[in-house]
Structure 1
Amino acid sequence: MRKIVLILWLAVALAAPVFGLRADINNDGRVDFADLAILAEEWLMSEQYGPELVTNGGFDTDTAWTKGGDWAWLNGTMRLYSSEQGVLSQSLPVVAGTAYEISYDNVLNFSPDTIVGYLGGQSFAVSLAANAVAVVCGSSDSLIRFEVASATGVIILDDVSVRKILQAESPNSLAAEDGNSLAAAINTLAHVDGNSLGHPSGICLASP
């Protein structure tokens, strides 16, 4: 199946100039294996995570989140001010014992000890240094929550995301599937009906 997808990608890349579409992904003046490699890498990365589980993670509106204590919505963010406290939470379809990637934007600086995140009761650090963490969901509840015991400054959160971490395939495993390499897949397309993939627009399939 993956070989078929890669073949279709290559076919689209070759046909793109005919229809006025952009096929030169890396802007080097040619459509070749380098462009296909970029597409393949993006595809592999997209397979590493499940769909977004958070509703209104960008806080575009004051909905979908439960604001406890002094959390307040303002201009597309959630925030707390000095000496305030509270819990910001949302119920998610998470499964205990499953790994998830949690990401967020912590807009303003604050003391890292004043806010803690939880997924299913499993805590994770919330800091400016690392705004994406992998967490194995706890079993106490189904909430993503940010808890503040005491704020020493302004705390602003935005762009909260939770996605399940899937089994990621390496490029090597992709190339080895069914005993065929990426080059073999391209050769299959290149020799359909005994024809090569030459193109009047000068598309080159040779690597740089």
Structure 2
Amino acid sequence: MHNQHTELPRIGKGLLVTLLFGIMVVIVAAWIMGDDFRVHDIRVENNQGVPVAQITGASGLTGEHVLFVDLNAAAKRVDDLPGVDAARITCTWQANCVILVQASQALAVWQGPVDSSNKVWVDRQGKVQRALGDVLAKLSIRVEEGDVPAIGAPLDTNVLRALNELVALQPQMTRYSYSGQYGLMYTDARGWRVRLGVAEHDGAMTEKLD
């Protein structure tokens, strides 16, 4: 009987310790799973020409738990946006995230013949994207007739080749016009209108400018 009396308090203490430990685990788990560890603060860097809201929305990070978010998948979604070549995402334990964007470099901005706000831009690979705000590009192309290049479709190969060659051949010339009939055109220093057409093959612009 004496041994039974001495064992009971020990069992009670063990249960109490287990109970307290369980309560602590629940409290810590609730804290970790709570709002403090969900992503609300997202900073976007180097997003030239790509709206912040578009980048954060594509990432899908807002409201996600920082311990379980797939940063590679989020970066891939941002990388797929028009105007983005690559993206890297980092997050801290405090659920603060940074999206570092490598923006596509604009080769040319195209402007419609009537509506000056109707603009698209093209990168060196011929990807056509809507111009949101001011876009820094090496060339400015004004369409004299018809529409600007269609978004989502690659720029005509011969036109793209011509633009890339002209950037190298005439770096001082930044303004051109374009028509379906005459292709690319510019006004030289004497005021003459020069019709270049397009580049049907590599080196075509060199031949036409000689």
Task: Compute the TM-score of the two structures, normalised by the length of structure 1.
Answer: 0.24
Bigger relative contact order, structure 1 or 2, given CA contacts below 8 A and separation 6+?
Answer: 1
Q: Which has the higher helix share?
A: 2
Task: Compute the TM-score of the two structures, normalised by the length of structure 2.
Answer: 0.24
Structure with bigger gyration radius: 2
